[in-house]
Amino acid sequence: MKRRKPAIEVVNDNVGEPLTSAHRETLADLVDEYRENTISRRSFLSRAAVFGLSAASLSGLLAETAAARARAPRAQPKRTAKLNIGVGQDADTVDPQAFKDIPGYYMLANLYDQLIDLKAHETKGGSILIADASKPTSMIAQSMVLSKDLRTATFKLDPRARFQDGSPLTAADVKYTFSRGILGTQYTNILMKMLTLTSVNNIKTPDEHTVVFKLDKSNPMTARLLSLQVLSIQSAKVSKAHATSKDRWTNNYWRSHVFGNGPYVLKSWNRGQGFELAPNPNYYRPGLPKNGGLVFKVIADPQQRLSLLKTGALHVAFEISAKDADSVRSGKVANVKLIDVPSPWSFGLTFNNTMKPFTDKRVRQALSYAVPYDAIIKTVMHGLAQPAKSMVPPGMPTHDGSFWKYDTDLSKAKQLLTAAGLGSGFTTSIDILIGRPEDEQAATLIQANFQQIGVNAQINKLDASQYQDNRNNAKSPMQIVEWYSWVDDPFYHLYWNMLSTNTFTNSSRYSNPAVDKLILAGIYEPNAAKRAAMSRQAQKIIVDDAPWAWLFARDFFQPAARNLHDFPYWPDQNPRFYWTFLT
Amino acid sequence: MEGVAASLHPPRLRDPGRRAGMTSIALPERLRARVSASMTRFLARRVALAILTLWLVTIAVFVITNILPGNPALVRLGPFASKAALHAEEVRMGLDKPLPERYWRFVSGALHGDLGISFKTERPVARDLGDRLPATVELACAATVLACLVGIPLGFLAAVRRNSRLDHAVRSIAGVSAAMPIFWLGLMLAFVFAYQLKWAPGPVGRLGLDDTPPPSVTGFYTIDSLLAGNLGLFARSLEYLALPAITLAIIELAPIAKIARSSMLEILDTEYVRASRAMGFSGWQIFKQDALRNALIPLFTMLGIVLGYLLAGNVIVETVFSWPGVGQYAYGAVTSNDFNAIQGFILMVATIYVVLNLVIDLLYALIDPRVRLG
């Protein structure tokens, strides 16, 4: 489905273009309805005329829409059908700005809206709706206008936007939300720094529906950062009502309370069992949600989730291993399909760049040559992954695999080890996280190859706390790590993983002043061509330095019911299920 | 004859003499006073031992959970946490305090029913456990009742017909059920009865995805749905209870049947049973009047152990059947280093064990004077 066919481009990253009509969304829905055969031609024409379109525009719109309808007959959504979704664990905290377990993000992505959204397009015959990070679109903000220097962003809020109780969402709420991000101690604090919105004084609210951000730097990532679920708009009134002198930003209250403005409301939540979201009767965007609600059920065993999907009890089964996903590839099971798209979700074997012998580049390169990349993709990931070949993963803008040189070659690995004075090998260890069987399988394959070059690597399976602790304190010689960047941007990705000062997230403790300089300059470089060149330069240096062995970029794969359409895939991987429907 | 019957029978148990028109011997006043003093001493000893056990448990739990490597504040905040935020979280969690102070807080809180806040759910641990315990208790009770209904008669029958085909069959069944891995059994039962035959609902927990739980009174969905007058929901809650309860019951069956058989064999071999036989009572009369109650006594101990084990939460069965009990909660707590939840869970389990054992000891003392007099 082409979403919002006549919609006017709202913004681009660099150039703001305001909406031409407050009724744009309504017109878009009208077109959708016509394309979905839910209204007649006559009804379409009479209702479209209200928008003051010229006869020529109307007939053009009608012709194009009718042609689209003829080309791709639309599946008819069952708008009252609920989606049953199996998850491995329950949501924990429900503060949009806090770090959460994954189901918490799933819940909040459907309960709250943000200022900006990303445009999405349908692929794979309507199975999946993919958001395009380069095409921001309206959400709570009807328009965002960026100044030429990209340092002033002016938002016009949708006057229809409401909180779940029907109370209006205004500029005061936006200001409160971002003030909480700037001054609070939550997760968003760090994103505000990246946005370079560093002072509450830089948020102006000239009227009830206008917000102006003054950014410290010209920022090419502004719209993409604002589309993140963690920057959901919260109610200033509710928050202030529950603030205390010790808890100014109402962290304690928001941990366990929801007051949303999104397409759903939290209907029930049985701790440990799951939660149900019902359509929000006060939601401001017509036509959404496209289903009758969401039932998230905790099914702890992934095998049972998949079995329940096969029986039709579930429509979506999350957290399914590559092996099990492979078993339901299209055609293998009658009522289940596997949604599979390449994604920049990086998996790597990190070398501790501050620990001997990994301080020697030749050792890192040798081990990079010894990793059995193809075997891992084939036998561990069952083909549901792509060769990564660079720190900027494939699928992410400016990815360049041409600097890659580490195709598996044990003799080269041995030569490099000998050159580094370790021809007789050495003993080391690989830390992996309990609960990720694919990491364990990959580690076993790597261990076998390393043994062939004289490197004895013990595999340590660690719980989340110890694993994280080892990473943060640079205690692991090697770790298998995963990373997907919420913002589909090479410098966002490099900033967290390769900048020497980001010791908590730079898991290999990689440090190269030239790369640091490129990252810090590139992240705020407004010129797209220059930015791309800087990204490629950084990738070239990093690949040669080999701080990681880039194992693969995991596909985004998701088993789902065959009659499920428009499974949402956004860069932050938080599913906006209000677009999804059953037929 | 009267004297022989009185000396052969355990005191206060039904004896064949009563059936034959004989009277039990009343205890003299001095002896009753001695029994009462013994009972008080026995009670005091048991309660003191229970308190001491629980205190040792608090020390063990606290020490073990606090020497685990890793920083729960870091897990809570995630990889982006700044040092300042991390420190603030450590302060919030009380991790900056010295160990003795943390232990004292833990113990004094526990005495007031405060087991701290779960780092994962952000709710009081006591409330989390309280919410989940009914699910575990309901499952454990259903499984135990099933196992007793099947295991005890089977064990007794096997004993009565010792070395018969039935006896061999019962011993084989008990052996197989004891040897069966519980995760395999659960998966197989779900696969066959839920997915293949579709006789039972899928393993999605206590009720279906479209069902609304009954208003909570006891926390048992079966009882609460009856209290709400919703027979349809009662039937559905039974359907969802069936497979996990049968899985656990099959595993429980083995020790129950074995103990039932061996204790019945022991009773049938006693002098008073032989005396009854000599007096001409039928096998059924002897079983019903003499052997049954006496043979049930050792089963109390076994049931106490089994029930305590089940109430501690069976992580595997709860996971396979998505049963939202304390077992799943504990598993989640361990994997996320949720200190307070781990401590609270172990303390709860220890308390259940200690209380169950205490109750069983007291019941023993009530029904078997040899215990309190010894």
For B108-164, what is each residue's pLDDT tens digit?
A: 888 888 888 887 777 889 999 998 999 999 999 999 999 999 999 899 888 888 888
CB contact under 8 A, B204 and A299: yes
CB contact under 8 A, A272 and B318: no
List CB contacts (< 8 A) between A307 and chain B: 190-191, 195, 202
What whole-number distance in Å separates Cα of residue A246 and Cα of residue A197? 25
Nearest chain A residue to B325 by CA: give it: A272
Question: Dihedral of CA A532/A537/A538/A539: which sign?
Answer: positive
CB contact under 8 A, B202 and A466: no
CB contact under 8 A, A99 and B77: yes
Task: Please name which of B311, B327, B330 lies closest in space to residue B319, comparing C-alpha atoms.
Answer: B327
CB contact under 8 A, A271 and B206: no
- The CA-CA-CA angle for residues B364, B253, B256, to 5°, reads 25
What whole-number distance in Å separates Cα of residue A397 and Cα of residue A489? 6
Residue in this structure with the two tokens 């307070």, named with its chain if needed: B340
CB A180 within 8 A of CB A197: no
Confidence at residue A45, expressed as pLDDT on a 0 to 100 scale: 66
- Partner residue facing B195 (CB), from A256, A307, A435: A307
How high is the ipTM of this complex? 0.71
Nearest chain A residue to B127 by CA: give it: A271
Confidence at residue B374, expressed as pLDDT on a 0 to 100 scale: 53
Best probe of the A interface among B122, B183, B197, B315, by most A CBs < 10 A, is: B122
CB A453 within 8 A of CB A426: no
- The reply to whether B236 touches chain A by the CB within 8 Å rule is no
- Partner residue facing B88 (CB), from A185, A187, A301: A185
What whole-number distance in Å separates Cα of residue B142 and Cα of residue B248? 9
Instruction: State the DSSP code for B117.
Output: B
The torsion region of residue A156 among left (phi > 0), alpha (psi -120 to 50) and beta comes to beta
For residue B159, what are its two tokens?
């004993």
Q: State the nearest Cα–Cα gap between A92 and chain B, in angstroms.
A: 5
Task: Please name which of B329, B115, B309, B127 lies closest in space to residue B216, comparing C-alpha atoms.
Answer: B127
What whole-number distance in Å separates Cα of residue A239 and Cα of residue A259? 9
Task: Please name which of A410, A412, A461 lies closest in space to residue A436, comparing C-alpha atoms.
Answer: A461
How many Cα atoms within 13 Å fall on the side-chain side of residue A461? 12
- Strand, coil or helix: A409: coil
- Partner residue facing A313 (CB), from B202, B213, B318: B202
List CB contacts (< 8 A) between B319 and chain A: 300-301
What whole-number distance in Å separates Cα of residue B144 and Cα of residue B246? 9
Q: Is the preceding peptide bond at A357 cis, omega within 30 degrees of 0?
A: yes
How many Cα atoms within 13 Å fall on the side-chain side of residue B116? 24
Q: State the nearest Cα–Cα gap between A468 and chain B, in angstroms.
A: 7
For residue B41, what are its two tokens?
């001493």
What whole-number distance in Å separates Cα of residue A329 and Cα of residue A558? 10
What b/e readout covers B45-81, taking b as 16+ CB neighbours within 10 angstroms?
ebeeebeeebeebbeebbeebeeeebbbbbbbbebbb
- The reply to whether B327 touches chain A by the CB within 8 Å rule is no
- Partner residue facing B335 (CB), from A303, A304, A463: A463
Residue in this structure with the two tokens 């340092």, named with its chain if needed: A151
CB contact under 8 A, B69 and A313: no
CB B33 within 8 A of CB B293: no
Q: Which residues, numbered 354 to 413 in chain A, qualify as contacts with chain B under a Cβ-Cβ cut-off of 8 Å? A: none
Confidence at residue B112, expressed as pLDDT on a 0 to 100 scale: 86
End-to-end alpha carbon distance in chain A: 14
- The reply to whether A466 touches chain B by the CB within 8 Å rule is yes
How many Cα atoms within 13 Å fall on the side-chain side of residue B217? 9
Confidence at residue B119, expressed as pLDDT on a 0 to 100 scale: 77
- The reply to whether B219 touches chain A by the CB within 8 Å rule is no
- The reply to whether A273 touches chain B by the CB within 8 Å rule is yes
Q: Give me the sheet containing A128-138, strands edge to edge.
A: A116-123, A128-138, A567-569
CB contact under 8 A, B88 and A468: no
List CB contacts (< 8 A) between B211 and chain A: none
pLDDT digits (tens, 9 = 90+) for B115-124: 888 877 778 8
Q: State the nearest Cα–Cα gap between B241 and chain A, in angstroms.
A: 15
- The residues of chain A scoring below 50 in pLDDT are 1-25, 38
Helices A490-498/A528-545 angle, 10° precision: 40
CB B368 within 8 A of CB B297: yes
- The residues of chain B scoring below 70 in pLDDT are 1-28, 30-35, 68-70, 75, 78-81, 312-313, 367-374
- Partner residue facing B85 (CB), from A82, A185, A307: A185
Task: Please name which of A431, A416, A392 lies closest in space to residue A536, comparing C-alpha atoms.
Answer: A392
Instruction: State the DSSP code for A179.
Output: H
Nearest chain A residue to B118 by CA: give it: A92
What whole-number distance in Å separates Cα of residue A181 and Cα of residue B137? 44
Q: State the nearest Cα–Cα gap between A500 and chain B, in angstroms.
A: 14
Q: Which amino acid would we find at residue B363?
A: L
Query: Where is A399: in which H helix or E strand?
Result: none
> Strands A83-87 and A455-462: what pairing?
unpaired
CB contact under 8 A, A308 and B77: no
Q: How far is CA A543 from CA A182, A362, A393, in A?
A: 35, 12, 12
List CB contacts (< 8 A) between A190 and chain B: 80, 82
- The reply to whether B66 touches chain A by the CB within 8 Å rule is no
What whole-number distance in Å separates Cα of residue B13 and Cα of residue B289? 10
How many Cα atoms within 13 Å fall on the side-chain side of residue B111? 7
**Bridge-partner residues for A121, per DSSP?**
A2, A130
- Strand, coil or helix: A152: strand
List CB contacts (< 8 A) between A99 and chain B: 76-78, 80-81
- The reply to whether B132 touches chain A by the CB within 8 Å rule is yes
CB contact under 8 A, A504 and B81: yes
> Would you state the torsion angle of the CA atoms of residues B172, B173, B174, B180, taken in this order, to the nearest 10 degrees?
110
Contact residues for A511 (Cβ-Cβ < 8 A; gap 6+): A353, A500
The torsion region of residue B322 among left (phi > 0), alpha (psi -120 to 50) and beta comes to left
CB B339 within 8 A of CB B72: yes
Concatenating the DSSP letter of every residue in A209-268 gives: TEEEEE-SS--TTHHHHHTSGGG----HHHHHHT--SS-TT-HHHHHH-----SSEEEEE
- Strand, coil or helix: A169: coil
- Partner residue facing B75 (CB), from A272, A304, A468: A468
How many Cα atoms within 13 Å fall on the side-chain side of residue B289? 17
Residue in this structure with the two tokens 């990793």, named with its chain if needed: A371
Residue in this structure with the two tokens 């950062």, named with its chain if needed: A225
Average predicted confidence (pLDDT) for chain B: 81
Query: Where is B59: in which H helix or E strand?
Result: helix B29-67
CB contact under 8 A, A466 and B320: no
> Would you state the torsion angle of the CA atoms of residues A45, A47, A49, A55, taken in this order, to the nearest 10 degrees?
-10
How many Cα atoms within 13 Å fall on the side-chain side of residue B202? 22
pTM: 0.80
Confidence at residue A101, expressed as pLDDT on a 0 to 100 scale: 81
Quickly count: other Cβ atoms within 10 Å of residue B297's Cβ. Answer: 16
How many Å is the maximal CA-CA distance in chain A? 82
Confidence at residue B30, expressed as pLDDT on a 0 to 100 scale: 67
- Partner residue facing B121 (CB), from A92, A314, A496: A92
Confidence at residue A411, expressed as pLDDT on a 0 to 100 scale: 95
